[in-house]
Structure 1
Amino acid sequence: MKWTKLFKTSIFFFLILISFNLHAQKYRVYYDISYKTDSLANEHKNKKMILDVNNNNNNNNNNNNNITRFYSYELYRSDSTLISNEKLGKLTMNKSMDYEFMTIKKANQISKIHRVFYDIYELQEEQPTFNWNILSETKKINGLTCQKATLDYKGRKWEAWFTLALPYNEGPYIFNGLPGLIISIYDMKKDYIFNMSGLAKDYQEIYADDKGLKSIKINKKQFEKIFIDYYNDPYKEVKAGRIMMNFKNDKGEKITPNWNEVTKYKQDEIKSNNNPIELSEAVKYPKN
């Protein structure tokens, strides 16, 4: 059964190669992520992601029309529903808030999207230059010949596999700069694993953030303060009555919580899930 699946996957990528326009200016890549926000967790979480690349002029990397988005498949589905309902005059009751790992690259700037409770923040930074070490080692991944590269970046050692068969210098999350598309990349502790699962030329742009759902732009100093403030009082907005949240007992009855207890529980949860992909950028929370 496994060999049958592998054969079908290999044929899938082979068909992609013979049908895909190697000079495509606009393409979509699908990735599966396996990750641990808690380094002590026994199991990984899993998520499907999308990489949309729109290069209107490959010879000018500073072209402001060149944009790359990396975002969750759940967000894509939610935005598709929201925009479709808007055209039909319908109200969308539930909007996905899955902004984990979302990045937007434009020219030499990168925006990392973060959610704290119901607020969406956009941390703007310069696009980093990665010092890849490209090795001669190769192997087949789903029928594609891939070459190995390694990278030390912000507290993690990474191993990547890219293919010259798809000569695009992009990859998942913020990673790019190799002479071919990154098919697989993972840190050596295997806390974060990205594997390509599909590829399509051209795509329909469906982004709810272009429909008025705007983020709050912040810098690194503000980023730290926002997360520390949230840690210190995670239920501030709820206690003030600005956000509604129901607490229930074991019988399912609504109760007024012991704020000290639920705050301590939430703080422990925040600290245990402080294993970010950029490890050296982990928030330094207060010691209780």
Structure 2
Amino acid sequence: MKRILFFTALFSIGLTVFGQRITIADFSSYGAKLQPLDSLVFSIQYAVSFVEDTKNPDNLTQETMMLRIGRNVSEYYSYTSFIADSVLRADIRAKASQQTINDHLRQYGFGAISHRIYKNYPRGRLTLLDRVATDNFVVEEPMPKIEWTIHSDTMTVCGYSCRKATGGLYGRDYEVWFTLDIPRSDGPWKLHGLPGLILKAEDTHKHYRFECTGIEQNRASSLIEISETSRRKVSRKELNKQHERFNADPQGYIKVNAPNVAVTVKDEMGNDIKKLSNPYNPIELN
């Protein structure tokens, strides 16, 4: 059944829906200063697919993610969200009309994956930025330790010879393929810790899959940056609990956490949907 979303607000706000996912644009962040963290060396594009509803495992959500690797720091984010952020940031700086901004929200939308991950920032740690409804969060934690087992199996991924490794992280076991031809201990999401770049990964339940589709050497001066947006600092588990609460009752979450935003969801017949809930299959199980 299709859902149609309507909203009213006491301030200018951008809101989009993907299936049942409600995303509220953070316009305050588009005018925020960008802090340079590192110089970009090369970028990796990953095709990511994941199961949001375990009752329908064949219904995959797909996303293009980018891993930008610098001399010391790396940044991992949704390419769709990056494009939307770039366009809206330009709109805000140009003082574009609300109509133009709304048109761009409909045109570009936001990615299904909301977090942005910085590895080795600060040094030896991992910083994750995320947004749930109107709330911005930051998690800073030690780089996760993954006990990898390296196997003799080989595979070619994106033209690179790779070795197989297996290891577990936050309740899921992963089979990954890494290449010694790119000796950077990094990979998609929070995966890292091998003597080469991880180009392909999948958990044993086949719920989350990452595969490199392209690698580009940086040929121009470019920076890895982080927005100096105000964020609430929480633990990893506290953030996961926020996502769990939001997906169980998005309208209720917004009512409590953003009382100046009213959200109404209607089906294709124009009937109100009093309570919306999203299937929730987090990548982190513990």
Q: Secondary structure at the match of 2:262?
A: coil
Does the CA contact (< 8 Å) of 2:137 and 2:232 recur in 1?
A: yes
2:252 aligned to 219, 235, 243, which one?
A: 235
- Contact 1:69–1:104 under 8 Å retained in 2: yes
- Contact in 1 for aligned 2:149/2:166 (Cα 8 Å): yes
**Map 1:114-129 → 2, pairs under 5 A:** 114-129=130-145
State whether structure 2 residue 192 is matched by structure 1 residue 176.
yes
Task: Provide closer, same or farther for how the CA distance between residues 170 and 119 of structure 1 changes in structure 2, counting only shifts above 3 A.
Answer: same
Q: Quick one: structure 1 residues 248 and 158, their matched pair in 2 at CA, closer, same or farther if it must change by over 3 Å?
A: closer
The 3-state SS of whatever aligns with 1:235 is helix
Residue of structure 2 equivalent to 1:52: 68
Report the Cα distance in structure 2 between the residues aligned to 1:223 and 1:250, rounded to whole angstroms: 33
Moved more, 243-252 or 113-122: 243-252
Identify the structure with the greater helix proportion.
1
Q: What CA distance in whole angstroms lies between the structure 2 residues aligned with 1:276 and 1:217?
A: 20
Q: 2:86 aligns with which of 80, 89, 114?
A: 80
Once residues 174 and 89 of structure 1 are traced to their aligned partners in structure 2, the CA distance between those partners, rounded to angstroms, is 37
> For each residue in 1:175-199, what CA deviation from the matched residue of structure 2 results, as whole angstroms up to 9, or x when unmatched?
1111111110111121111000111
Q: Please say if residues 49 and 62 of structure 2, whose CA atoms lie closer than 8 Å, have aligned partners that are also in contact.
A: yes
Assess if the C-alpha contact under 8 Å between 2:77 and 2:117 holds in 1. Answer: yes
* Inter-CA distance 85–248: structure 2 relative to 1 (3 Å threshold): closer
Shift in alpha-carbon separation, 1:236–1:48, aligned structure 2, 3 A = closer
* 1:192-211 CA-partner distances (Å, limit 9, x unpaired): 1100011112264486x62x
TM-score, structure 2 length as denominator? 0.70
Instruction: Call closer, same or farther: CA 1:90–1:184 in 2, change over 3 Å.
Output: same
1:229 shift after superposition: 5.6
Please, what is the CA RMSD of the aligned residues?
A: 3.0
In 2, distance between residues paired with 1:158 and 1:125? 21
**Residue 263 of structure 2 aligns with which residue?**
245
Residues 206, 128 of structure 1: alpha-carbon distance in 2 compared, 3 angstrom cutoff: closer
Greater Rg by CA: 1
- Long gaps (5+) in structure 1: 1-23, 56-65, 282-288
- Contact 1:72–1:100 at 8 Å: present in 2 too? yes
Task: Give the Å deviation of 1:34.
Answer: 0.9
Q: Alignment partner for residue 100 of structure 1, among 97, 114, 139?
A: 114
Q: What amino acid sits opposite 1:38 in the alignment?
A: D
Deviation, structure 1 residue 25:
6.3
What are the within-5 Å matches in structure 2 for residues 151-230 of structure 1? 151-202=167-218, 204-205=222-223, 210=227, 213-220=229-236, 222-223=238-239, 226-227=242-243, 230=246
Going from structure 1 to structure 2, the CA distance change for 1:224 and 1:54 (only over 3 Å counts) comes to: closer
| Counterpart amino acid of residue 233 in structure 2 | K
- How many angstroms apart in 2 are the aligned matches of 1:152 and 1:166? 23
Distance in 2 (alpha carbons) for counterparts of 1:226 and 1:80: 26
Distance 2:239 2:253 in 1: 18
- What TM-score comes out, normalization by structure 1 length? 0.69
Amino acid in the other structure paired with 1:235: G
Contact in 1 for aligned 2:245/2:253 (Cα 8 Å): no
Deviation at 1:97, TM superposition (A): 4.9
* Alpha-carbon contact 2:77-2:116 (below 8 Å) kept: yes
Structure 2 residue corresponding to 1:34, chosen from 49, 60, 69:
49
Question: Aligned partners of 2:255 and 2:188: how far apart in 1?
Answer: 35
* 3-state SS, counterpart of residue 169 of structure 1: coil
After superposition, the Cα gap between the structure-2 partners of 1:33 and 1:221, relative to the gap in structure 1 and judged at 3 Å, is: closer
Shift of 1:46: 0.6
Unaligned ranges ≥5, structure 2: 1-38
Contact kept, 8 Å, 1:76 with 1:206, in 2: the verdict is no
* 1:167 alignment partner, SS class: coil
CA contact (8 A) 1:83 1:206 kept: no
Conserved? CA contact 2:115–2:131, under 8 Å: no
- State the shift of 1:113 in Å: 3.2
Deviations 1:17-45 (A, max 9, x none): xxxxxxx9621111010101222223211
CA–CA distance in structure 1, aligned partners of residues 223 and 40 of structure 2:
14
TM-superposed deviation, 1:236: 5.2
Decide which of 238, 263, 284 is 1:278's aligned counterpart.
Answer: 284
